[in-house]
Structure 1
């Protein structure tokens, strides 16, 4: 089996594992979340590393949310521009190549595409307890 084929098979297996872990793909107000990677961290017992790609339609948004109580989140803008506000910090626009983080328990009040004409995407990487089943909790009033 070629290296390319092995990587494709591994990617599909990881996508299935991430979907089973609670990082399900969804489509809400113009965003789509797709699993990218999930794996226990071997030298940090009880912790796992999970990555998802969030793709926004032009003008698309994600509802306000928090993440699992154990989750440290790092977000990296892959394409376009993303508007983000975490906790009581200022709303800011991040462009491709820029990143931010969210501490465990942080409230992600604003997340969406800063452009109404072009799509945007980001990579969200979670370090969380390995037994966490739901990584994103949407506000109840959404």
Structure 2
């Protein structure tokens, strides 16, 4: 995950916008995780296909040009490259409290839910 943009929202006191690019090699996946409790996230697939499951919704596959979102407090149970042969990437745009420095916490991390 690489931060590509970050800026305080001038018209929403105490909030900032952070954009990150997540690159997945073929077959790669992230651990189940939570994001900062204040985070609303818009995710846009830049390349390839991404399989995602948020909370108890059924897993979905998103293709290049498709998008999804996560509400604050969501549990991202699955985030992975749906292809075993092609890389994939997504742009995740966070609207988050300015004080929230940690954007993503894997479930296996101390203090995670």
For the aligned pair, the TM-score class normalised by the smaller chain equals over 0.9
The structure 1 residue matched to 2:55, chosen from 87, 91, 106, is: 87
Report the Cα offset of residue 34 of structure 1.
Answer: 1.0
Q: Which whole-Å CA distance do the structure 1 matches of 2:81 and 2:108 have between them?
A: 22
SS class of match (1:58): coil
Q: Which whole-Å CA distance do the structure 2 matches of 1:39 and 1:56 have between them?
A: 25
The structure 2 residue matched to 1:65, chosen from 30, 33, 38, is: 33
> What's 2:88 paired with?
120
SS class of match (1:128): strand
Give the TM-score, by structure 1 length: 0.76
Report the Cα offset of residue 118 of structure 1.
Answer: 0.3
Post-superposition, which runs of at least 4 consecutive aligned residues in structure 1 deviate over 4 A? none
- Residues 1:56 and 2:24 are matched in the alignment: yes
Report the Cα offset of residue 99 of structure 1.
Answer: 0.4
Relative contact order (alpha carbons < 8 A, sep ≥ 6): 1 or 2 greater?
2
Number of aligned residues: 109
* Equivalence map 1:1-142=2 (5 Å): 33-140=1-108
RMSD over equivalenced CA pairs, Å: 0.8
Q: Which has the larger radius of gyration?
A: 1
SS class of match (1:110): strand
Structure 2 residues not aligned, in runs of 5+: none
